[in-house]
Amino acid sequence: MTPSPPDAGDLSSSPLPPVGEDDHVRGDGPLVIEYADLECPYCAKANLLLAELPVRRVFRHFPIVSKHPRARILAHALEAAGMQGAFWAMHGSLLGDQGHLDDPHLWQRCEQLGIDVARFDADRRSDGVAERVERDFRSGVRAGVMTTPTLFVDGVAHPGVPDAGLIARLNR
């Protein structure tokens, strides 16, 4: 969809950016920074597991378009929903039903969540939203993310759906 602009900076190794003011953060407890693709079924499964845990959760975009053609479109849509205060509501909605991700379904979700559709449509196509998603993606590449989901706990990367050991560790 939007190719990485070659002038957007290097993609060489760089530590995971700390939680910033514009990060999407929810909950209290141990910090979990998650890189995820909204069309990825493993991310949907991880979401179900994480929703049950007492953690401070940070969501960052990692759309892999070659694998999931709608991934970047959905990331933009989620950011646009966030601009109307509905980030986590749309996040739960998208990951809760990955069988309905085309534009009419997105508009329907907006109506259900009380999101202004015209504003949503303008926002999700804005440069600011594209840059926001790209920034997340590039920070993930630089931190070595190679699969979705990848969870960072105490600065250590855990690729894939969190296993029982990690869940138990976070569930304290």
Partner 1 sequence: MIEAGASAPDFSLSNQDGDTVALQDLEGQYSVLVFFPAAFSPVCTDQLSVYEEVLPDLRARDAALYGISVDGAFALKAFQASVGTTIPLLSDFHPKGGMAKAYDVWVPERGVATRALVLIGPDLTVLWTHRPSSPLEIPGANLIFDALDAVAA
**Cα separation of 142 and 126, whole Å?**
25
Q: For residues 132 and 119, what is the distance between their CA atoms, to the nearest angstrom?
A: 17
Answer yes or no whether residue 145 interacts with partner 1 by CB under 8 A: yes
Minimum CB separation of residue 6 from partner 1 in Å reads: 3
Measured in degrees and rounded to the nearest 5, phi and psi for residue 15 equal -60, 155
Residue among 157, 140, 143, 159 at smallest CA distance from 15: 143
Beta-sheet pairing, 156-159 with 150-153:
antiparallel
Among 14, 98, 108, 126, binds partner 1 (CB under 8 A): 14
- Is 114 a binding residue for partner 1 by CB under 8 A? The answer is no
Question: Is residue 51 part of the contact set for partner 1 (CB under 8 A)?
Answer: no
Taking CB under 8 A as the criterion, the residue among 25, 51, 64, 89 binding partner 1 is 64
Q: Which listed residue (59, 87, 137, 152) binds partner 1 by CB under 8 A?
A: 137
Check: CB of residue 100 under 8 Å from CB of residue 84: no
- We find the least distance from the C-beta atom of residue 144 to partner 1, in angstroms, to be 4
Which residues bind to partner 1, rule: CB under 8 A? 3-7, 10-14, 64-67, 69, 137, 141-147, 159
